[in-house]
Structure 1
């Protein structure tokens, strides 16, 4: 909205299309073949190396990256479902969405050949520029804990993992 750009988002039908990212995933899978991986960070490194001429941009995320979107009052719409009653279209029937920043309106298509229609939902709140909104709270305040059983099983794996990787497994919160 801040850049006043209309965004069109298409949802592909399962089994009927091929996306540019299929080639990305394929090259990463090829790079991962026959590799020994002991740490999550090794996935990021190998993903970058999957295309040596122009390495993929890989961002290693941790718990602090994720924002909390549970406050539904901060959304402009309560739902993007195009129908309201039983047998009306649902979210999974949507094939395309169009976000128009000038009015804050979302339009949708149920098939690619039709024209966009206004989402039959009332806008919950007036359009506010994103830079004027307070930052969203973070979803997690610290690393997510795993169960004691999972932690113990990971400790057992240390017998086949290089010792310089043990610190990662020891530091996992449980």
Structure 2
């Protein structure tokens, strides 16, 4: 399968490399293949997430799979929330452990770890 060869190429490139921040995965992915063309990598952020509060952008009015009484219903979803201005904070203990790791990380990666929200 094509995806298996992509993952294998990325893993080979990672074998002797180091990942310090998430954006390092993009660099490794782009460098994993040169010919015929490099792999495409997209940095995912909140700008790619659909704003579900704007009903004009909805494809469907309902996520219910059926249309009449007796048809299947969706019961496992409790809520869908879109909040790009609210990154989910990590636990304080995890934040402090990550701060200790900065001793072995390049200085240009420190600001990423310093700016993580925590509670």
TM-score calculated relative to the size of structure 1: 0.50
- Please state how far the C-alpha of 1:62 moved relative to its aligned partner: 1.8
Q: Which residue of 1 aligns with 2:44?
A: 61
CA contact (8 A) 1:38 1:165 kept: yes
Aligned residue pairs, count: 102
CA distance in 1, matches of 2:8, 2:106: 28
More helix by share: 2
Structure 1 segments of 4 or more deviating over 4 A? Answer: 68-71, 74-77
Secondary structure of the structure 2 residue equivalent to 1:39: coil
- Please state how far the C-alpha of 1:33 moved relative to its aligned partner: 0.7
TM-score calculated relative to the size of structure 2: 0.71
Pairing partner for 1:122 from 64, 67, 71: 67
Q: Deviations over 1:20-62 (max 9, x none)?
A: 2111111111111121111111100110111112111100012
Q: Deviations over 1:129-164 (max 9, x none)?
A: xxxxxxxx8443233221111111100101111122
More strand by share: 1
Which of structures 1 and 2 has the bigger CA Rg? 1
1:148 aligns with 2:92: yes
Pairing partner for 1:27 from 9, 22, 31: 9
CA distance in 1, matches of 2:104, 2:63: 51
- Please state how far the C-alpha of 1:77 moved relative to its aligned partner: 4.7
Alignment map for 1:99-114 (pairs within 5 Å):
none
1:41 aligns with 2:23: yes
Where does structure 2 lack aligned partners over 5 or more consecutive residues? 69-80
Q: Which has the higher contact order (CA 8 A, sep 6+)?
A: 1
CA distance in 1, matches of 2:18, 2:105: 10
- Please state how far the C-alpha of 1:66 moved relative to its aligned partner: 2.4
- Please state how far the C-alpha of 1:64 moved relative to its aligned partner: 3.6
Change (3 A) 1:64 1:77: closer
Where does structure 1 lack aligned partners over 5 or more consecutive residues? 1-18, 80-120, 124-136
